Structure 1
Amino acid sequence: MQFDHDNVRRVVEQDRLSRLPDELIHKIMSGFDMKFVVETCLLSSRWKLLWTSMPFLNFSSCQFGSLLRFAEFMTHVLSHRNHQTEVSLLKLHFQGEANDFFVRKIANYVFSHNVQELTIWLGHNLPNNPPLLFSSNSLKHFTLTSVVIGACNITPKTPWDFPALTTLHLSGIVLSGDLFSKCVNVKNLTLESFSIVDVEEFDIITPRLSNLMLIGGKCASKVINLIAPQLENLTIYHCIIKLLNAPSILSSLCYTGFPHPQLFKDCFHSLNEVTICWLKMPYKKEDALKTIHMLQKLHSARYVTLDAYIVECISSFPDLLLHHSSPFTNLICLTIDSSMRMDVKMSIEARNFLIENSPSATLIMK
């Protein structure tokens, strides 16, 4: 068999990467920092100006020895781009105290280039209420993360103006006042490691909100009002909240954290799935009674998952259960999650209490 050395040599000598279309090269480079992208493009005459048309911009101050050099680089990149190419995604990873220069530079670019997705990661403070940042007609996805919890204090005089926004994720922030009412198309909202100050009641006004996640909120003496008539899915994870007024039309509820049987004021009428998981709690009669009242507010649920500690709490006071009717009338499946325990102490009274009004329901010990 003859081996064609000349043909192999021609294939090897071809620059296959340079023959790729610009769109594919942009996609490959989208996961890298812009400093790396610019340096890489300088290695090839074919790629020399490719960075100027990148639709994905990812800036990180960690790649520079000083904030001045980072500022100069970012200014150079933004001012020498091909401005006929829109920016679909802009990321800023900023390790340092953000000043008005960075805020205004980012904001101006978001506005003038119809950026649809903006992600800002802050290692230090963000200037309180930067006037230009929080208004955009094109932005659809916005993530703002402050690593220093509470360093980002958002107390706007007027609500954020993001009419096109559909997904919003805020982490490590301090909230006060109406923030969301002009974000009329937000469907997914996540508040993480947040706190509420200066107001006793905080309103989340979002007419089209479908999914809400509250994670690590610390506002023990505050009331949160969810004015969200289309809210379907609510997830609460390790939050300390005095009271949460949620719409009664919820379809899915997931609560994990400290025992808080009185968190919800009203009953829910159309629940499909419910998951309640508590940290270990003392089994006191008062707590068992509050737990019973909480379960009764979830009466419409069809698929229910309860933590082992909840079951053991009500099992410890069987006399209380005899004076209360079973809360679940539409139950299809009840799952007792004992994944953190070797066994679960579930009394006959507790079993009857949970499923007697849904005799065909399936009981699963997970």
Structure 2
Amino acid sequence: MGSPSQKKLRALEAGDESDRISRLPDDLIHKILSFLDAKAAVQTTCLSKRWKPVWTTLPFLNFGRYHNSSPKNVSDFICNVLRNRNHHSHVFSLNFRVKCKDVSPNLLEEFVEYAISHDLQSLRLELLDDHKPFKLSTFSSKSLKKLELNLRLQECALESDCWDLPALTTLRLSCVRGHESHSRLNSWLKDSVFTCLPALTRLSLHNWDLSQLFSFSLPALTRLRLSHCTLPTTVWDFPDLLSLQLDGVGLPDDMSDILFALVKLKNLTLILPSTQRDYFISCPPHLLNLSITGSFCHHGNIWSNIVVSAPKLCNFTAFGIFATTIGVPELENVNISLQGWFQNMELTCRKRYYRRLTNMLPGFCNAKNLTFDAESIEALNEISNLLQSLPSPFSELKYVKLPTGCKESSISSALRSYLLGGSPNATFVTKLPQIHGVEDSMLDASVEGTDKDQASSLGGQRDSGLWRGHEVNSEFVGLLDRIMHKYPETFKHFTTKNKKLCTMNLNMLCTSLNDLFKISMTNVDSEMMFAYKEVISYLQNQGFNLTWVVDRLTYIEHLRFSKPLINELYSIECHIDDAKTKLQDLQSRAADAKTKLQDLLAHVDYAKTRLQAKQSLRTEKLSEIKKAFGTTDAKLVVGFIGDDLLSNP
């Protein structure tokens, strides 16, 4: 049986085995407790002696609503946490979401000040009732990186009350209006709110009036979300902005003035307000992804008409039904979703609105891939009788992606004809094929060998032409004719056993050569040359004689890398350009100097003329004096009284 001490030891060992979590290091336990409210974290002290000090060093503190606690108990609890923490421990994250009547603003400010002094990095402060406004300077911190505020801020002279947040990268500000100002938005957000945030990359503003801003400028900002805000009238200065979301804001009919300065913008999300009106969206040149959520309208045929101009747009997402015209040369993907847009409306009522899809879908006529959710497929099937009499608008379509659980057999014949009738080679799929780059497509073509993969590998080339019995992209026909005329040996051993593979290889050859012809010598590097050699090697294995291309690549490599002559030439050309610039500057300065010299000479001539006139006038006056007073010395007339009285005879 063993002694009592041995039994106790075995019991302790068994207890340790059943309580493995207690043996975890404090850092890992802190991470687990970070998902709990501070009240639950403190209650872990009753588990064992091991747990009693754990919460006192917890760097993640969350304070919830505490619906079942009295205001005094909530306030006392927060005070006790603040008083009994291990004050040598950091507070990396502080999260308050409490009722204002439960906690005084002074206590919250005290806790925030305490956390900031302990290397606070993330602060979220959300007050659920009306309260006394906070000063901006309350949140000044050298370590704070993320700040979320859903509360009232003082309307005051921000020059004297501003925050200092040099490390802040993420800011979310939600305006909470007091009882006296429910009818209007606060309008105190001034320029100085943003000029003190040099590292800010993400900004989200909700319910603010920004019309008082003289400058809306954040040089490091990459993501911006404005929700139910009054937009600033000044020019937006966000040189590195990549993503913009405008949610329920009053947009102008023409958005060019807002978007033209956002030169790097790639992602744009628009959630339109309930007002039904027309919009013209002229997108920045590098925009790739556009998402528009239309507002549902119960009033008959009143609905938005949206015109989009985006030269490089690849992906468009439409949530809702609205007329859309997209001026895009090549539109890769269109995603249409209606889930939840009708706000749980009965099917019999929704059917009245489904017919609007017949005005919406033709706007995507140049789409390559269409993706529908379950509700949009349901809507299209419901209006099949209308679609039956309409021609298919989709002439460039490759794939129609069906939602999960939707089988191709459930698509009505009328809907099938409407979607695929304008593109005979298009098919229904449940998963879109991955689009590969040129090099990847060349390596994978021999395995896949399908027209769909070929289409993907060509980076959006869609029109087909006929070259010696092979269907190729129409723009390549002329290029193939020129190759055939100048290098006929290229196709001498080119086989045609598999027409699909041959067509793909011809397109691949032309795509590679087109890219090669557009490369400047200054941009050539060894990695690029290696990639092109791999491509050419693959094509030669497929039967092409590309000796003339290989010779050119070898010559370019030799010219670019074997000797520094080309670099020396570029260096000399740079010096020539500098000399030309300096010469132009000197010529400009000389022209300016010549103009100034001419001006000075004109002033000299003018001064001479005036001198001669004054001298002539002086002679006349002296002649008049001589006639009146005799032969008096002319010097005396303009000299001193005693002149010549004592001079020698």
TM-score, normalization by structure 1: 0.69
Alignment of 1:156-235 (within 5 A): 156-171=212-227, 173-177=228-232, 181-192=236-247, 194-196=248-250, 199-202=252-255, 203-204=258-259, 206-215=262-271, 217-221=273-277, 223=279, 225=281, 227-235=283-291
Q: Which moved more, 1:131-140 or 1:237-246?
A: 237-246
Cα distance between partner residues in 2 of 1:229 and 1:37: 51
1:44 aligns with 2:83: no
Judge conservation of contact 1:98–1:124 (CA < 8 Å) in 2. no
Instruction: Name the count of aligned residue pairs.
Output: 340
The residue that corresponds to 1:253 in the other structure is 316
Residues 219-271 of structure 1 deviation map (CA, whole Å, 9 limit, x = unaligned): 433636354333322222343755353524222222121x322x33x333332
Judge conservation of contact 1:34–1:57 (CA < 8 Å) in 2. no
Judge conservation of contact 2:393–2:422 (CA < 8 Å) in 1. yes
The residue that corresponds to 1:148 in the other structure is none
- 2:199 aligned residue (138, 156, 180): 138
- 1:358 aligned residue (423, 441, 450): 423
The residue that corresponds to 1:92 in the other structure is 125
The residue that corresponds to 1:118 in the other structure is 171
Residues 267-300 of structure 1 deviation map (CA, whole Å, 9 limit, x = unaligned): 3333222122456454899x5763464232xx13
Judge conservation of contact 1:33–1:60 (CA < 8 Å) in 2. no
Cα distance between partner residues in 2 of 1:103 and 1:36: 31
- 2:379 aligned residue (309, 323, 337): 309
Judge conservation of contact 2:390–2:418 (CA < 8 Å) in 1. no
Q: Which amino acid aligns with 1:114?
A: A
Judge conservation of contact 1:334–1:361 (CA < 8 Å) in 2. no
SS at match of 1:80: helix
Q: Where does structure 2 lack aligned partners over 5 or more consecutive residues?
A: 46-51, 58-84, 148-163, 179-184, 297-303, 343-349, 432-649
How far does residue 96 in structure 1 lie from its aligned partner after superposition? 3.3
How far does residue 17 in structure 1 lie from its aligned partner after superposition? 6.5
Cα distance between partner residues in 2 of 1:18 and 1:120: 41
Judge conservation of contact 1:52–1:81 (CA < 8 Å) in 2. no
Judge conservation of contact 2:169–2:202 (CA < 8 Å) in 1. yes
When residues 76 and 283 of structure 1 are mapped into structure 2, their CA distance, relative to the original with a 3 A threshold, is closer
The residue that corresponds to 2:9 in the other structure is 6
Judge conservation of contact 1:26–1:54 (CA < 8 Å) in 2. no
1:295 aligns with 2:340: no
Cα distance between partner residues in 2 of 1:300 and 1:20: 55
Judge conservation of contact 2:278–2:305 (CA < 8 Å) in 1. yes
Cα distance between partner residues in 1 of 2:215 and 2:242: 17
The residue that corresponds to 2:472 in the other structure is none
Judge conservation of contact 2:334–2:364 (CA < 8 Å) in 1. no
What is the aligned-residue RMSD (CA, Å)? Answer: 4.6
- 2:96 aligned residue (59, 63, 75): 59
Q: Which amino acid aligns with 2:53?
A: S
Cα distance between partner residues in 2 of 1:163 and 1:356: 49
The residue that corresponds to 1:79 in the other structure is 113
Cα distance between partner residues in 2 of 1:37 and 1:50: 17
Cα distance between partner residues in 1 of 2:385 and 2:279: 31
SS at match of 2:106: helix
Cα distance between partner residues in 1 of 2:286 and 2:333: 17
Cα distance between partner residues in 2 of 1:32 and 1:200: 47
Judge conservation of contact 1:302–1:332 (CA < 8 Å) in 2. yes
Cα distance between partner residues in 2 of 1:10 and 1:365: 55
When residues 165 and 30 of structure 1 are mapped into structure 2, their CA distance, relative to the original with a 3 A threshold, is farther
Cα distance between partner residues in 2 of 1:162 and 1:95: 30
Q: Which amino acid aligns with 2:200?
A: L
Q: Which amino acid aligns with 2:276?
A: A
Residues 185-212 of structure 1 deviation map (CA, whole Å, 9 limit, x = unaligned): 33333333x1307x54442453333333
Higher relative contact order (CA closer than 8 Å, sequence separation 6+): 1
Q: Which amino acid aligns with 2:202?
A: H
How far does residue 81 in structure 1 lie from its aligned partner after superposition? 3.5
Judge conservation of contact 1:103–1:130 (CA < 8 Å) in 2. no
The residue that corresponds to 2:333 in the other structure is 273
The residue that corresponds to 1:331 in the other structure is 398
How far does residue 72 in structure 1 lie from its aligned partner after superposition? 1.3
Q: Where does structure 1 lack aligned partners over 5 or more consecutive residues?
A: 146-150
SS at match of 2:134: helix
Instruction: Decide which structure has the larger Cα Rg and report it.
Output: 2
Q: Which amino acid aligns with 1:54?
A: V
Residues 82-118 of structure 1 deviation map (CA, whole Å, 9 limit, x = unaligned): 647251x222212234765255534676643613333
Identical positions, percent? 17
Residues 132-160 of structure 1 deviation map (CA, whole Å, 9 limit, x = unaligned): 54442223334445xxxxx5333242454
More helix by percentage: 2
- 1:101 aligned residue (117, 131, 134): 134
More strand by percentage: 1
How far does residue 161 in structure 1 lie from its aligned partner after superposition? 3.5
How far does residue 177 in structure 1 lie from its aligned partner after superposition? 3.3
SS at match of 1:269: coil
